């Protein structure tokens, strides 16, 4: 199953026809510019660089920079991962002593420009990202159709805030399924899926297919290409310990958490889609909903309050003025649960999945997830768009951190 088939289960909010087309035909069609927190420039222990990359994922770029500079990749900080099939601009921090070495690096499709001294940049140290996206292979009606969809969603309060396909895998849509197996304590089948699932379209698929069929670890270590480094780490650790649990715990923390985060994201998407399907409002709070505060278009997901019979009119007035947003659950052991009809829907989804939130607590400590809340709708800030003859539609907009441009475009394109 590819990502288009996977995403077809999630409902569109808009009912107008889409423009179709294709994104990311060329890396230059998808430009991402990070807006960092100003606080990254406080301090002197780290050198802050603006990293421009093309056809690199963030982790691979960071590891290559670290290797060439003779430092550990753990000493390089960044605020968020960026698309591979794109041209992206983001800020990284390196130890101040490595400034000159990094400044003099020459790596294909990577540019590094020293900005200032500052602090170590951690995940989340950003306000959001600016996007410029070209949608190709559309006809001359694309502008009017875009206008119709965007106008309809403006009335409905925004775009569904689905997690994008990058969260789950483009060719191998398995990250959330691995996460579900880990939550059930089934490390063996989680490993089998992570190592053996194959699409038939990717390098290394033959080796994955052999492992799926045989479970032969020694053969896999001979056949898995070196670029599948996390898979090889898992295999080596299993050979050493005989434990798939210990093998998973040997992975770098961000990789280990990808699977749990993907499953949380899947459940959130399911909640948004089910709410649309059942005719429950996304832009109006119901009694029992949990609402997040919004300031100047940026949601503050750690500032939440429950909707009651007493405050519902006040809350919905805040929502209408863009100062609050209805939220959905990122399930975890400490997630603030909704009540009323929204709470019933949350419970229904957990029951269908055969889970309780306590499962997130029983994970090995590095994987344990407290959970949180996420706004159901997002309003792209400063959205402009236009048709470029012989090229396609060009969209420009800003999104807060953690929001996917591909999910905004999905509503406009109706391609999956």
pLDDT tens-place string over residues 256-273: 888 999 999 999 999 999
CA 204 to chain centre: 24
Place of tokens 């005989």: 242
Two structure tokens written together for 147: 């206008």
DSSP 225: -
Two structure tokens written together for 27: 């890396």
Tens digits of residue pLDDT in 347-369? 999 999 999 999 999 888 888 89
Cβ distance 69 to 98 under 8 Å?
Answer: yes
Q: Where along the chain do its domains lie? A: 3-23+136-161+379-413, 27-128, 175-251, 259-375
Two structure tokens written together for 254: 């961000």
Tens digits of residue pLDDT in 107-144? 999 999 999 999 999 989 999 999 999 999 999 899 99
Q: What is the CATH number of domain 27-128?
A: 3.30.70.3160
Using DSSP, state whether 292 is helix, strand or coil. Answer: strand
Answer positive or negative: Cα dihedral of 180, 300, 398, 21.
positive
C-alpha span between 3 and 412 (Å, rounded): 17
Two structure tokens written together for 388: 């470029």
Cβ distance 342 to 280 under 8 Å?
Answer: yes
C-alpha span between 94 and 92 (Å, rounded): 7
Judged against a pLDDT cut of 80, whether residue 55 lies above it is answered with: yes
Bridge-based pairing state of the strands 30-36 and 87-95: parallel
pLDDT for the residue numbered 389: 93
C-alpha span between 79 and 36 (Å, rounded): 8
C-alpha span between 2 and 7 (Å, rounded): 9
Q: What are phi and psi of 300, to 5 degrees?
A: -105, 90
CATH of 259-375, one of 3.30.2350.20, 3.40.640.10, 3.40.350.10, 3.40.47.10: 3.30.2350.20
Quickly count: other Cβ atoms within 10 Å of residue 300's Cβ: 14
Cβ distance 98 to 47 under 8 Å?
Answer: yes
How are strands ordered across the β-sheet holding 290-295?
298-306, 290-295, 324-330, 372-375
Answer positive or negative: Cα dihedral of 74, 80, 83, 86.
negative
* Entry pTM: 0.93
- From the candidates 29, 35, 83, 289, which is the catalytic residue? 83
pLDDT for the residue numbered 1: 67
Tens digits of residue pLDDT in 233-246? 999 999 999 999 99
Tens digits of residue pLDDT in 155-214? 999 999 999 988 887 778 899 999 999 999 999 999 999 999 987 777 888 999 999 999
Q: Do domains 27-128 and 175-251 have the same CATH topology?
A: no
Outline where DSSP puts E strands in 45-183: 46-54, 77-78, 87-95, 110-118, 126-135, 159-160
CB < 8 Å & 24+ apart, contacts of 405-409: 405/30, 405/32, 405/129, 405/131, 405/133, 405/164, 406/23, 406/164, 406/165, 406/166, 407/159, 407/160, 407/161, 407/162, 407/163, 407/164, 408/159, 408/378, 408/380, 409/23, 409/133, 409/135
Which of 320, 369, 312 is CA-nearest to residue 342?
A: 312
Catalytic: 83? yes
Summarize the confidence of residues 279-283 as an average pLDDT. Answer: 97
Two structure tokens written together for 146: 């875009």
Place of tokens 């863009």: 322
CA distances 260 to 130, 138, 171, Å, are 27, 37, 19
Which residues have C-beta within 8 Å of that of residue 205, sequence separation ≥ 6? 198, 199
> What is the CATH topology of the domain spanning 175-251?
Hypothetical Protein Yqey; Chain: A; domain1 (1.10.1510)
C-alpha span between 332 and 374 (Å, rounded): 13
DSSP 227: T
Summarize the confidence of residues 403-413 as an average pLDDT. Answer: 96
Q: What are phi and psi of 46, to 5 degrees?
A: -130, 150
């Amino acid at each position: 199953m590819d990502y288009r088939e996977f995403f077809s289960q999630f409902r569109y909010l808009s009912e107008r026809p889409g423009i179709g087309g294709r994104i990311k035909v060329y890396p230059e069609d998808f430009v991402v510019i990070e807006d960092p927190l100003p606080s990254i420039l406080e301090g002197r222990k780290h050198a802050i660089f603006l990293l421009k990359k093309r056809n690199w994922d963030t982790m691979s770029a960071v590891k290559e920079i670290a290797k060439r500079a003779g430092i550990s990749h753990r000493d390089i900080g960044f605020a968020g991962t960026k698309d591979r099939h794109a041209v992206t601009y983001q800020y990284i921090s390196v130890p101040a002593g490595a400034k000159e070495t990094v400044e003099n690096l020459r790596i294909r499709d990577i540019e590094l420009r020293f900005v200032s001294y500052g602090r170590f940049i951690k995940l989340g140290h950003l306000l959001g990202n600016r996007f410029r996206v070209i949608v190709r292979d559309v006809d001359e009606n694309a502008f009017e159709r875009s206008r119709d969809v965007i106008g309809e969603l403006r009335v409905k309060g925004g775009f569904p805030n689905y997690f994008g396909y990058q969260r789950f895998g483009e060719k191998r849509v398995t990250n959330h399924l691995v996460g579900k197996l880990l939550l059930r304590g089934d490390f063996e089948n989680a490993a089998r899926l992570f190592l053996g699932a194959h699409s038939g379209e990717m390098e290394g698929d033959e080796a994955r297919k052999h492992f799926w069929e045989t479970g032969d670890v020694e053969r896999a270590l001979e056949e898995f290409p070196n670029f599948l480094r996390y898979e090889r780490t898992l295999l080596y650790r299993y050979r050493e310990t005989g434990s798939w649990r210990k093998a998973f715990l040997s992975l770098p923390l961000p990789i280990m958490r990808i699977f749990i985060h993907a499953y949380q994201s899947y459940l959130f998407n399911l909640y948004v889609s089910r709410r649309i399907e059942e005719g429950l409002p996304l832009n109006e709070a119901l009694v029992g909903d949990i609402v997040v505060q919004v300031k100047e278009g940026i949601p503050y997901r750690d500032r939440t309050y429950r909707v009651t019979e007493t405050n519902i009119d006040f809350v919905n007035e805040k929502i209408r003025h863009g100062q609050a947003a209805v939220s959905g659950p990122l399930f975890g052991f400490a997630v603030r649960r909704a009540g009323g009809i929204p709470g019933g829907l949350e419970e229904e989804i957990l029951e269908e999945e055969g889970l309780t939130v306590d499962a997130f607590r029983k994970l090995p400590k590095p994987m344990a997830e407290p959970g949180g809340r996420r706004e159901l709708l997002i309003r792209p800030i400063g959205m402009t768009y236009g048709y470029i003859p012989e090229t396609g539609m060009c969209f420009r907009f800003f999104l807060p951190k953690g929001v996917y441009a591909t999910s905004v475009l999905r509503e406009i394109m109706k391609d999956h």
